[in-house]
Amino acid sequence: MRLLPYAALAIAFPGMAFAADPHSYAQPDVVKVTHLDLALKVDFAKRELAGDATLKLDWKDAGAKALVLDTRDLKIAHVDAIDASGKATPLTYTLAARDKELGSKLTIAAPAHPASVRITYTTVPAASGLQWLTPEQTADKKQPFMFSQSESIHARSWVPLQDSPAIRFTYDAHVTAPKDVRVVMSAINDAKHPLDGDFKFDQPHPIPSYLLAIAAGDIAVKETGPRSAVYAEPSVVGKAAHEFEDTEKLIATTEQLYGPYAWGRYDILVLPPSFPFGGMENPNMTFATPTVLVGDKSLVSLVSHELAHSWSGNLVTSAAWRDIWLNEGFTTYVQGRITEAVYGKALADEEALLSARELEKTIGDMPANTQKLTPDPRGVGADDSLSSVAYDKGSWFLRTLEQRFGRETFDAYLKGYFAHFAFQSIDTDTMFAYLKANLLDKYPGKMSEAEARAWIWQPGIPKDAPLPTSPRFDSIDQQRTAFLAGKLDAAKIDAKGWNTQEWMYFLDRLPDVAPLDKIKAIDAAWHLTGTPNAEIGMRWYAHAIAAGDKDVWTAAAEHMTRIGRLYLTTPVYRAFARTPEGLAYAKQAYAKAKAGYHPMTQQAVESILAGKSKKK
């Protein structure tokens, strides 16, 4: 097993102890999983994974009597202790009643402290971390498709394990599937592997459970560089390879900034449209939405973001979901630096302004505690920990540090941070201690400890938070204002050369309920209804529906049916749900679209349609 760069650091700085994870039953202070050996069969007909998980254990408490694991809706067949020779000895176990969020605690009696425990099990068709698609729900409509989404705490729905970001383990897997189906995982994948139904994987670096990933289907491959490739359905792979042809350049750029890429290969799997997120940073194999394939690379910052996770998130991981800004805030900052280096400062500044302006608009409506980068414990679900505060306030804080200390100094600091905590899970207190010693105290007079603490542990955005400037956005602001005041015709708006981000900015800053005649004029001039660009479409349909333009309803329903990405779908449902007639129409659209949605998307949409969603 060959360890890649940073491996020695993982040994030099062993994992730390943290408070109990409220989203996990695991007891890592008693016993810790260090390695996972998976043997699974993919059964599309039954919509299940079946096999066993063998967990290598490091017992911490000499008096411990049991191993406690996280599961959700798994059907456990039996549990065995495995000795050094491979001999299996049955163990007794108890599967507790199911908690709605946490699933069922699996308690395995193991007073003899076996070195390994094997759980034989099957998943259920409705496993929250898996989606099974019929051929009709795929792009090519030839073969079924299956993919996982383990973040935040959904790995437990397809593997029994200690499902907490504080616990890291290596893994290997042997997966069988029907012939002509390709299986990929969050490990090194062989682009030339024969489609013989027999796949083996090895992840030699310790990862948290939410980065455990698997997919299987009619998947073709195109290389994009010496250590990168695009995986997608055959009809999509060419378009995806063109869109992501700069991947090697992005990797090399990030290495120059923050140190060597630790994972060997960086491949991208473009999933069917039902994938509920923009991207998922699974090590070695980013899962990506097809909504970024717009033909002009204008949304390729998604790749910059998921690639950046290879340093912030995958290499240095937040130890608890309330500290998720350590993943997402750092990653969003690094994403901006990659985008600037490869695509120019203007685009990076536009993207930073887009997120900052939206956060300024919405943060005041949030409860004070959720405005903090590290909120006080508040009893929310793990999935609810992800918010624009973690991404956008977190990256804004790091941009502020860069401005105060200078780019050269801050780059050296961040590079050292990634190296120092490589392959560890840390909390905000640990991060702050390192920040204080290696930046605040080392360069006095640049930022006080009180200022830094306010960014992290106080609500809101500091009044002196710096923002980049964008002449293009300034011009758009002027034109929007003139158009809304009746001083500029829609056809005279200078939008012919606008990129996706500029259209997003124009639409984001329209009134929440714009006059119907203004909406009609924009569409007549610029034909936004029916746009294939989902970022523009989501914003456009939400505004048009709010304005009362029923002419867009059919196209909006097509958008909602075609796209399963939460961020691009739920705002349109919310717009419909604000009126009784719109709500009835949205329910009809959802009835047709539901089968193609991921369980997470189904849950979010049903909450909106039931009037339970608090988001605007």
For residues 236 and 280, give the distance between their C-alpha atoms in angstroms, rounded to a whole number.
19
Residues 6+ apart with CB under 8 A from 588: none
Alpha carbon dihedral 204, 207, 212, 217, in 10-degree steps, equals -40
Does residue 391 carry a catalytic annotation?
yes
Contact 140, 218 (CB under 8 A): yes
Active-site hit among 391, 573, 585, 597: 391
Q: Enumerate long-range contacts of 4-8, CB under 8 Å, 24 or more apart.
A: 4/204, 4/205, 4/262, 4/263, 4/264, 5/259, 5/260, 5/261, 5/262, 6/259, 6/260, 6/262, 6/315, 6/419, 6/422, 6/423, 7/204, 7/205, 7/423
Is 543 labelled a binding residue?
Answer: no
Bridge partner list, 54: 37, 118
Q: Which two tokens stand for residue 286?
A: 């980013």
Are the beta carbons of 338 and 250 closer than 8 angstroms? yes
Residue with tokens 């411990």: 64
Q: 489 is written with which tokens? A: 């015709």
**Could you please report the per-residue DSSP string of 349-377?**
HHHHHHHHHHHHHHGGGS-GGGGSSSPPP
**305 known ligand binder:** yes
Place of tokens 């108890």: 94
Q: Of 151, 233, 306, 535, which is the active-site residue?
A: 306
CA atoms within 13 A on the CB side of 51: 17
Is 306 among the residues known to form the active site? Answer: yes
Structure tokens at 548: 């009362």
309 labelled binding-site residue: yes
Q: Say if residues 438 and 416 touch (Cβ distance below 8 Å).
A: yes
Distance CA(10)–CA(75), nearest Å, equals: 35
State how far the Cα of 123 lies from the Cα of 76, in Å rounded to an integer.
Answer: 9
CA–CA gap between residue 185 and residue 320 (Å, rounded) = 24
Q: What tokens were used for 424?
A: 């560890």
Q: Which of 171, 160, 169, 154 is nearest to 69 (CA)?
A: 160
Q: What is the distance between the terminal CA atoms of the chain, rounded to a whole angstrom?
A: 50
Cα radius of gyration rounded to whole Å, the chain: 24
For residue 447, give both structure tokens: 């930022």
Instruction: Quote the CA–CA distance of 218 and 224 in Å, as a whole number.
Output: 19
How far is it, in rounded angstroms, from Cα 333 to Cα 349? 11
Query: For residues 188 and 196, what is the distance between their CA atoms, to the nearest angstrom?
Result: 18
- Give catalytic residue positions: 306, 391
As annotated, the binding site includes: 305, 309, 328
As annotated, the binding site for Zn(2+) includes: 305, 309, 328
